[in-house]
């Protein structure tokens, strides 16, 4: 399956499209409040350091920072004074505190390296993963909650006293009790449960009421809970086989033979493995059956193989549907998973026998037109089906789906499609041979040279020799015969392509050789490896459906499945409604956005999820005084490259940045294979020129070929982990077009990379965001990206970002780390290790980001909001227990009794709920793409029966059917109301830095995803061999000979994971991943 692309629709070369405003904005917000700051909002050089060490500082836009005080240098992991300070926060919704500088906007706030005087040494944000990494199993919960507390020592003390050690031990005890009293907060923290059995997710705090109400349709179909006595039986089939298909064939034969005589006329549902379910008891507790399976007729005339199986069916348990009913009514906390699983298995029985099952989906070449994807693959249409507990009762979620299958071609034709050339007239190259072997290994083929006999084999490899060189013994005397001769004499078949290798089938001890030209690929084999860029594009084109088309197909699928006539549904008493669920929804208003007062438009109300930069200036323009450009494109000449850079610099200035129009040294052209040498040489030349003037290099502009292989990733790795410079890549096609829209879009990205802000929420400046504006609040985003299928030993990459400004919550610093293959729990959130000189030391991503927040805002966070992306429902308990525990420990390690309240929200995009307008022809209720309006939120009927979750479609559709994000609150010590959390989440979606559109998931989670994806480029080697490019450059990363020559250093999934190279300090402080 293809993960649907994110909805910001970034252009190639790291750019996003600036969409022009259009359409009618629904649910207009009130105009900007009168108390918004007057004068230019220039933020930049705010001199916030702990009180007592600072001079007077500019508020919003207060010049280049007045007398900043010093702050002692801190070491990574060293003790850190983290005491409460400063004036107490205002009550929620109050006006901002009076400004000490008597106004706002006095002079340009310096942003980026060249702005204002250099800060005194302060504790820096450190890359996670600097400590010695000990690979090993995840600690148990007991181990996690009894971790050694880290000593907290005031800055300036020279030694650790006994009393301080006692205090350190006290931190541990208080942390474990988790009833720490917080300054200005009487709220006692909820104790962290010892196990998932003791854990309860927060109940829904009532339904939201903000926004204007409307009705939407959802692809959920009401399922009536059966009133049957369900029984579970254990099944053992001897000899044991791993194939579910064989198991099902055995049980199908058993039911056919013995349903009337031995099974009490029951029609059982079988999961294909060890469990059988019946609606009512079978007339025995345990029984043994003998079943004979006869192989299908291969038309050879030879006797067919018979296989005997012993099947033992034994009563295991009764399945309790009463508790499921109680759960659906909200009278029981835990979902009875077993009862839900039984109903799912029952409804899967019939489609499993009709179609090809893949996960929870079913595919067939007859469910829609098959489409060629390229390189020997085709797409099959199908549908997803899952039974879910919801507020309206049981619901059957049905969605349309497509996936890749191997085309049932003659192997010769498949190979020519795979290699994209006619290679029948010459021998294969080594690279061709490797590609063919990888594509065909494990594929099932049938022979075509024996008339009606179509025997099937599974390919295990290719022969190293050409077919004409292959011989094999034909008798016990050692007489050998060539393959060519054998086929001619035995079958009268003359092999044409004798220079090609043979397919090797069977096992390695007794291999069989089959010439490629006598084999055809068997239909119905799903392709599970990684798709290349062309195949992904073709598959997305197939799956992209307008909302009204998708809705029609879903309803047709339900009618076609005829659940009312399904013998298994009838047997178990399950009834499915054939109408889409009608659901109450609300459309939340878009937030007002603040831009700089120097522009003609000082604030902006987005229309239908989009706006543009015309007549606006960035609220905090960054400064780029010193930059260089390197051109890696053969088609772009140096004068063209220089002209493009001048135009880009001009657009940055128009947008509100300070941008020098001339580079430090002239633009230079270079070959892509010289990327490392050229980057380091030009960087050295520029720095050498700037050093006497005590200036730094701010930005590198890079022009890339449109298809650039591994160049983009290599460039980012060198810039961000070796040189310490942010870069902006632009593709050749954009250099030639040089459209204003493209340049304005790139300017947005450059601004945040050099430390600026593009826009902020007006409500943030006027301190009107509930549970964010009233006290210093840090918002985290976290994600883990896993290797593609087929990359069996590559590590997973975890990324955590956190807001670094308050009250604006717009800038996010990010940290990344590598961890064990497919490990979902983020291992480096908090960690301790033994330092030879300092003893036990603590660190990790949360701690570093908390310190960084304190450094950049002058406040310690008094509230934590944690958006966690990419967690499936089955991992909720595990992820919450481990990661909330890490957050608590990180806070406790900074200061005794420091435990700010935490709200932990999971963000899910990989689900199958779709929302449709009630009337597709009502132009007031859809956007230009025919999708529901941005800001549409649903927290009733199709949501969880009791827990705090909601669906939010925060973005305008571009093409296809929008997928709403699903937010599920797993922990909430801040006691958010439904309206407060839904509005905060929706409003944050308008602050995404890379485009002037609201985006589909909350930006901190989105940024974490980008950072994790970027970090995959830092790993050497690149483990992909057909991979696809992302954010900056399309084309196959790893397709060049240099990348292909790299060999993996990750021997096994459980081997020690090699840490990523650390990000440079000046890079990690800015939004380098944008």
Predicted confidence (pLDDT) per residue in 342-364, tens digit: 999 999 999 999 999 999 999 99
Lowest mean pLDDT among 53-62, 289-298, 509-518, 842-851: 53-62
Instruction: Specify the DSSP class assigned to residue 692.
Output: G
How high is the mean pLDDT of the chain? Answer: 82
Q: Which pair of tokens denotes residue 311?
A: 């099947």
Segment 955-974 shows an average pLDDT of 96
The torsion region of residue 621 among left (phi > 0), alpha (psi -120 to 50) and beta comes to beta
DSSP reduced 3-state for 964: coil
Angle between helices 430-440 and 411-419 (to 10 degrees): 120
DSSP reduced 3-state for 682: helix
Please tell me the predicted confidence (pLDDT) of residue 1055: 57
HSE (CB half, 13 Å, CA atoms) of 518? 28
The torsion region of residue 77 among left (phi > 0), alpha (psi -120 to 50) and beta comes to left
Q: What is the pLDDT of residues 172-229, one digit of tens each?
A: 343 344 333 333 333 456 777 666 666 789 999 999 999 999 999 999 999 998 888 8
Question: How far is the CA of 879 from the CAs of 134, 195, 905, 947, 950, in angstroms?
Answer: 20, 12, 11, 17, 20
Lowest mean pLDDT among 536-540, 727-731, 1025-1029, 1057-1061: 1025-1029
Structural Rg of the chain based on CA atoms? 32
Q: What is the DSSP string of 819-854?
A: ESTT--S-TTSSEEEEETTTEEEEE-HHHHHHHHHH
Contact 1004, 988 (CB under 8 A): yes
Q: Which pair of tokens denotes residue 188?
A: 């006692």
Instruction: Specify the DSSP class assigned to residue 723.
Output: I
Smallest Cα–Cα separation from 624: which of 714, 741, 537, 754? Answer: 754
Confidence of residue 1019 (pLDDT cuts 50, 70, 90): confident
Q: Give kind and range of the element (H or E) at residue 883.
A: helix 876-894
Confidence of residue 95 (pLDDT cuts 50, 70, 90): very low
Q: What is the pLDDT of residues 738-797, one digit of tens each?
A: 999 999 999 999 999 999 999 999 999 999 999 999 999 999 999 999 988 777 778 999
Site of tokens 């128009």:
654
| DSSP collapsed to 3 states, 921-946 | CCCCCECCCCCECCCEEECCCCCCCC
- Collect all residues with Cβ–Cβ distance below 8 Å to 923 and sequence separation of at least 6: none
- Report d(CA 830, CA 847) in Å as an integer: 7
Segment 517-536 shows an average pLDDT of 93
- Report d(CA 229, CA 572) in Å as an integer: 9
Question: How far is the CA of 983 from the CAs of 47, 659, 914, 976, in angstroms?
Answer: 31, 36, 21, 11
Angle between helices 876-894 and 845-857 (to 10 degrees): 50
Phi then psi for residue 20, to 5 deg, are -75, 145
Confidence of residue 512 (pLDDT cuts 50, 70, 90): confident
- Report d(CA 360, CA 380) in Å as an integer: 15
């Amino acid at each position: 399956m293809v993960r649907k692309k994110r909805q910001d629709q970034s252009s190639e070369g790291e750019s996003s499209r600036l969409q022009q405003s259009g359409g009618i904005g629904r649910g207009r917000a009130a105009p900007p409040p009168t108390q918004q700051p007057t004068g230019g909002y220039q933020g930049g050089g705010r001199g916030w350091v702990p009180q007592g060490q600072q001079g007077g500082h500019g508020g919003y836009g207060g010049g280049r920072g007045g007398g900043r005080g010093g702050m002692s240098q801190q070491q990574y992991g060293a003790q850190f004074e983290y005491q409460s300070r400063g004036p107490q926060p205002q009550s929620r919704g109050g006006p901002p505190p009076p400004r000490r500088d008597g106004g706002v906007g006095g002079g340009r706030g310096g942003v980026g390296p060249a702005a204002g005087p250099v800060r005194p040494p302060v504790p820096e944000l450190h890359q996670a993963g600097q400590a010695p990494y000990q690979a090993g199993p995840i600690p148990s919960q007991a181990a996690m909650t009894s971790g050694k507390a880290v000593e907290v020592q005031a800055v300036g003390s020279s030694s650790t006293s006994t009393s301080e050690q006692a205090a350190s031990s006290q931190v541990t005890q208080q942390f474990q009790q988790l009833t720490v009293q917080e300054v200005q907060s009487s709220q006692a923290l909820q104790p962290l449960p010892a196990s998932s059995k003791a854990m309860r997710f927060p109940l829904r705090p009532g339904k939201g009421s903000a926004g204007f109400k409307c009705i939407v349709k959802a692809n959920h179909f009401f399922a009536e809970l059966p009133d049957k006595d369900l029984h579970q039986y254990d099944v053992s089939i001897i000899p044991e086989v791993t194939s579910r298909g064989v198991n099902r064939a055995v049980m199908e034969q058993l039911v056919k033979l013995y349903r009337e005589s031995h099974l009490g006329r029951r029609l059982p549902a079988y999961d294909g493995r060890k469990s059988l379910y019946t609606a009512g008891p079978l007339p025995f507790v345990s029984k043994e059956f003998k079943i004979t399976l006869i192989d299908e007729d291969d038309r050879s005339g030879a006797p067919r193989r018979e296989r005997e199986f012993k099947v033992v069916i034994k009563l295991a348990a009764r399945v309790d549907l009463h508790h499921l009913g109680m759960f659906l009514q909200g009278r029981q906390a835990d979902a009875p998973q077993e009862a839900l699983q039984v109903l799912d298995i029952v409804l899967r029985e019939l489609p499993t026998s009709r179609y090809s099952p893949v996960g929870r989906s079913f595919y067939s070449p007859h469910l829609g037109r098959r489409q060629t994807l390229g390189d020997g693959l085709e797409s099959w249409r199908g549908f997803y089906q899952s039974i879910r507990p919801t507020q309206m009762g049981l619901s059957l979620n049905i969605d349309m789906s497509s996936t890749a299958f191997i085309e049932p071609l003659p192997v010769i034709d498949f190979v020519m499609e795979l290699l994209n050339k006619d290679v029948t007239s010459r021998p294969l190259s080594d690279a061709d041979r490797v590609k063919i072997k990888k594509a065909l290994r494990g594929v099932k083929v049938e022979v075509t040279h024996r008339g009606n006999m179509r025997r099937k084999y599974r390919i295990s490899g290719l022969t190293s020799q050409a077919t004409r060189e292959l011989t094999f013994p034909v008798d016990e005397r050692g007489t050998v015969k060539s393959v060519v001769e054998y086929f001619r004499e035995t079958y009268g078949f003359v092999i044409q392509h004798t220079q090609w290798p043979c397919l090797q089938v069977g096992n390695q001890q007794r291999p069989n050789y089959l010439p490629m030209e006598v084999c055809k690929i068997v239909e119905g084999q799903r392709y599970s490896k990684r798709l290349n860029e062309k195949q992904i594009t073709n598959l997305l084109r197939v799956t992209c459906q307008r909302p009204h088309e998708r809705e029609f197909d879903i309803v047709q699928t339900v009618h076609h499945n005829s659940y009312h006539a399904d013998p298994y549904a009838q047997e178990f008493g399950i009834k499915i409604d054939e109408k889409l669920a009608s659901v109450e929804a609300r459309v939340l208003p878009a937030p007002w956005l603040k831009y700089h007062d120097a522009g003609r438009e000082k604030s902006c109300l987005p229309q239908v999820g989009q706006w543009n930069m015309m007549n606006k200036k960035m609220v905090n323009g960054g400064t780029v005084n010193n930059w260089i450009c390197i051109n890696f494109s053969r088609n772009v000449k140096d004068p063209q490259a220089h002209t493009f850079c001048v135009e880009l610099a001009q657009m940055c200035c128009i947008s509100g940045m300070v941008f020098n129009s001339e580079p430090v040294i002239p633009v230079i052209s270079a070959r892509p294979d010289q990327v490392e040498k050229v980057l380091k040489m030009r960087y050295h030349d520029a720095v050498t020129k700037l050093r006497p003037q005590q200036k730094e290099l701010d930005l590198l502009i890079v022009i890339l070929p449109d298809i650039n292989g591994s160049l983009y990733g290599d460039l980012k790795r060198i810039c961000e982990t070796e040189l310490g410079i942010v870069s902006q890549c632009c593709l050749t096609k954009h250099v030639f077009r040089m459209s204003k829209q493209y340049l304005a879009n790139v300017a947005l990205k450059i601004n945040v990379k050099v430390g600026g802000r593009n826009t902020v929420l007006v409500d943030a400046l006027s301190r009107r965001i509930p549970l964010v504006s009233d006290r210093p609040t840090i918002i985290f985003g976290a994600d883990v990206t896993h290797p593609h299928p087929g990359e069996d030993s590559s590590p997973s990459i975890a990324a955590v970002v956190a807001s670094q400004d308050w009250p604006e919550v717009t800038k996010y610093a990010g940290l990344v780390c590598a961890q064990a293959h497919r490990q979902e729990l983020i291992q480096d959130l908090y960690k301790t290790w033994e330092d030879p000189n300092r003893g036990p030391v603590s660190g990790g991503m949360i701690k570093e980001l908390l310190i960084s927040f304190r450094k950049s805002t002058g406040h310690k966070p008094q509230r934590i909001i944690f958006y966690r992306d990419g967690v499936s429902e089955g991992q909720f308990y595990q992820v919450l227990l481990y990661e909330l525990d890490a957050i608590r420990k990180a806070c406790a390690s900074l200061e005794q009794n420091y435990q700010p309240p935490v709200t932990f929200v999971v963000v899910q995009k990989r689900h199958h709920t779709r929302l449709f307008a009630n009337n597709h022809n009502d132009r007031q209720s859809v956007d230009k793409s025919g999708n529901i309006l941005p800001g549409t939120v649903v927290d009733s009927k199709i949501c969880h029966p009791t827990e705090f979750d909601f669906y939010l479609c925060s973005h305008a559709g571009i093409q296809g059917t929008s997928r709403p994000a699903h937010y599920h609150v797993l922990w909430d010590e801040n006691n958010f109301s439904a309206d407060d959390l839904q509005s905060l989440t929706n409003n944050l979606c308008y602050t995404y830095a890379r485009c002037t559109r609201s985006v589909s998931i909350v930006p901190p989670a989105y940024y974490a995803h980008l950072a994790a994806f970027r970090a995959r480029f830092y790993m050497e080697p690149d483990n992909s061999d057909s991979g696809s490019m992302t954010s900056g450059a399309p084309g196959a990363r790893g397709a060049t000979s240099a990348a292909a020559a790299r060999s993996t250093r990750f021997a096994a999934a459980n081997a020690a994971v090699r840490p990523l190279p650390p990000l440079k300090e000046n890079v990690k402080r800015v939004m380098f991943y944008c």
